[in-house]
Structure 1
Amino acid sequence: MTKKRLWITRRLSDATLERAARDYEVVINHDDTPGTAEDIIAASAEFDAIIPCHSEHFSADVVAQLDPRLKILANHSVGVDHCDLPALAARGITVTNTPDVLSDATAELAMLLMLGAARHAVAGDRLVRTGGWDSWSPAFMVGKQVTGARVGIIGMGRVGRSFAAKARGFDMDVHYYNRSELSADLAQGATYHSTIESLLGVADFLSLHCPATPETTDLMNSERFAMLPPGAVVVNTARGALIDEDALMAALDRGHVVAAGLDCFKVEPGGNPALSLYDNVFMLPHIGSATRTTRDAMGFRALDNLDAFFAGQTPQDQL
């Protein structure tokens, strides 16, 4: 049987590429640069399937120009905000993602960002590295304690629940907002809030774990930052679109928000240079799922979805 042709748009894990080459006729973008609209449109005439990342954008305009040969996008990501799903569905193109497998890695990074933001990781690291640490006093670099504090989680999907489990390890009082209240076995004692506004009022720490949609764009704006308790810490490992970055900086300038931990930004790659001026903002370059274990699992999940599709089955993660 002739192998289906597969375009892998970025450099995935070695184990993923080995398996893909075994089962498909594969072309890999070894330059590891984002696929442009022109690349995607051209590839659609040459390949039966694409494994894209969130760096490849399937806008309505791009989708309208895709060749009928392309049958499936097996995303190497959980988020699909880079895909115009209605446009793809109208063209009969199946779309899948990779849920479950990156929840723990992303939740780990959220914990790192929360702790680092709360305990002056940026300023402290710089002080030691530059040789500026030449004194000490009881008032030196006093931060915000995580243990026993209240944490608010917006979005209690897989990543949010994994983060909640880790927060309970710090004896945190977990509160959450979700589109619907979780069953008791999933909530594990977390307190449900039916509105974001109710949650914000008790969130000494706030962690965002919801998808980017038109409804969640600038979810955290000036009005909502002001609803947080004074001295709150904000963490975002979900999508940069969730935070109005100017509003965050204004809240930091007022001291109402004392620190932030960010793994994602409005503009990626690159981030927001203005945020680099804040020692109380701990930033990482969108690496929430970047562990070897998770990268292998994501690649294999994408291939599992392709295998099912070409076997005439419904992929496990079809959207």
Structure 2
Amino acid sequence: MKPKIYITRKLPDAIIAQLSEVCEVSMWENEEEPVPREVLEKEMQQVNGLFCLLTDNIDKSLISQSSQLKIISNMAVGYNNIDIEAATEKGIMVTNTPGVLTETTADLTFALLMATARRLIEASDYLHEGKWETWSPMQLTGQDIYGATLGIIGLGRIGEALAKRAKGFDMNVLYYNRSRKFVAEEQLGIHYVDKETLLKESDFVCVLVPFTPETKNTIDQNELALMKPSSVLINTARGGVVNEDALYKALINNEIWAAGLDVFEVEPVPSDHPLLKLPNVVALPHIGSAGINTRIKMASLAASNLIEGILGRIPKHLVNS
């Protein structure tokens, strides 16, 4: 008899076929809506493996109800949606999907930087709303990118990939990380500085740290106060690393110039969120890794992780070893 697994959102047929070779597959068929809590609770009690997404809250209560679960495979790099401690206590493996989304997320981060700096959404709306009647010297002017200073907070894989893109725009790249990356400094021509210096000197600040208790509110009132009035903040990491109330106040008080956000503390972000009302905020619905090929690679890697765990092997991308 094949081991049973549950998938919390509809996946491409090729991924289902990959899993079905080894497992008996059940799946929440709705592509747009998360699996209801009561359905997930029922499934967790009878499956050996769980394939979940960042939108699924796999908390201690859910994990405690699972009697046969061997592995939770998260289709994401981050795993703050899973109670790792509770899973570890029950001997349940937890895996993630690092690496495959690096370049795609770096693409989106730089695209968001450009869209925010050059006011692309605002300009497009201006055109579609019939407001473009003439040309004037300072009409819809934004911040120059070429030759500007980029500060990267968190120089992981995505941070290094972003630095490569920035060098193509002849940007001066500063970075702050919990440990220095001497090889990256030499290869990319980037410079390590403390966080205060980075915030003071950067024209663009990109936050790329994972979300942990230590990184919560990495950007808060004090950090925003250090930034230039002409600077732009970009967050494609996790919503919790930026204090949204402090960011809103900094924007309306002209302490910084603009912000580009792909992530929020609460997702989906409510449509009446104050930040969404500001013209100098470019907001996206967490699409950092949303390249077609990348998402398929992520799903396939998550499936491979799950299969390894189900078969009693140690998956390559185990996060609670």
Q: TM-score, normalised by structure 2?
A: 0.94
Match of 1:77 in 2: 76
State the alpha-carbon separation in 1 of the partners of residues 143 and 66 from structure 2. Answer: 55
Q: CA deviation at 1:36?
A: 4.0
**Match for 2:107: what amino acid?**
E
Q: Within 1, Cα distance between the matches of 2:11 and 2:137?
A: 48
- SS at 1:161 equivalent: helix
> Shift in Å at residue 212 of structure 1?
1.0
**5+ residue gaps in structure 1?**
none
Task: Write out aligned runs for 1:69-148 (5 A).
Answer: 69-148=68-147
| Aligned residue number for residue 45 of structure 1 | 45
Instruction: For 2:202, give the aligned amino acid.
Output: A
Alignment match, 1:60: 60
Alpha-carbon distance in 2 for matches of 1:61, 1:45: 12
Residue in structure 2 matched with residue 258 of structure 1 by the alignment = 257
Look up the SS of the partner of 1:241 in the other structure: helix
The CA distance in 1 between the partners of 2:137 and 2:78, in whole Å, is 44
Counterparts of 1:311 and 1:59 in 2: how far apart (Å)?
A: 24
Deviation at 1:168, TM superposition (A): 1.3
SS of 1:113 mapped into structure 2: helix
Q: Output the CA distance in 1 between the equivalents of 2:244 and 2:205.
A: 15
Establish whether residue 292 from structure 1 lines up as the match of residue 292 from structure 2: yes
Range with greater deviation from structure 2 (183-192 or 244-253): 183-192
C-alpha deviation, 1:250, in angstroms: 1.2
Q: Per-residue displacement from partner, 1:243-277 (whole Å, max 9, x unpaired)?
A: 11121111111222111111011111134621122
Q: Which residue of structure 2 lines up, in the alignment, with residue 208 of structure 1?
A: 207
Amino acid at match of 2:215: T
TM-score (norm 1): 0.94
Instruction: After TM superposition, give the deviation of residue 164 of structure 1 in Å.
Output: 1.3
Once the two structures are superposed, what CA deviation does each residue of 1:167-209 show, in whole Å capped at 9, x if it has no partner? Answer: 111111111111111132476221112x322321222101111
- Distance in 2 between residues matched to 1:230 and 1:275, nearest whole Å: 18
Partner residue in 1 for 2:314: 314
Residues 14 and 206 (structure 1 numbering): CA distance in 2 closer, same or farther, change over 3 Å?
farther
**After the TM superposition, which of the residue ranges 170-179 and 71-80 deviates more from structure 2?**
170-179
Residue aligning to 1:155:
154
Displacement of 1:87 after TM fit? 1.3
Corresponding residue of 1:282: 282
8 Å CA contact 2:19–2:307 kept in 1: the answer is no
Q: Does the 8 A contact of 1:37 with 1:62 survive in 2?
A: no
**Which ranges of structure 2 fall in alignment gaps of 5 or more residues?**
none
Moved more, 184-193 or 218-227: 184-193
SS at match of 1:315: coil
Moved more, 92-101 or 242-251: 242-251
Q: How far apart are the structure 2 equivalents of 1:136 and 1:51?
A: 53
Question: Retained in 2: the 8 A contact 1:122–1:281?
Answer: no
* Identity value in percent: 36
- The answer for the alignment partner of 2:267 in structure 1 is 268
3-state secondary structure, aligned to 1:257: coil
1:232 aligned to 2:223?
Answer: no
Contact 2:109-2:236 at 8 Å conserved across structures? yes
What SS class does the counterpart of residue 201 from structure 1 fall into? helix
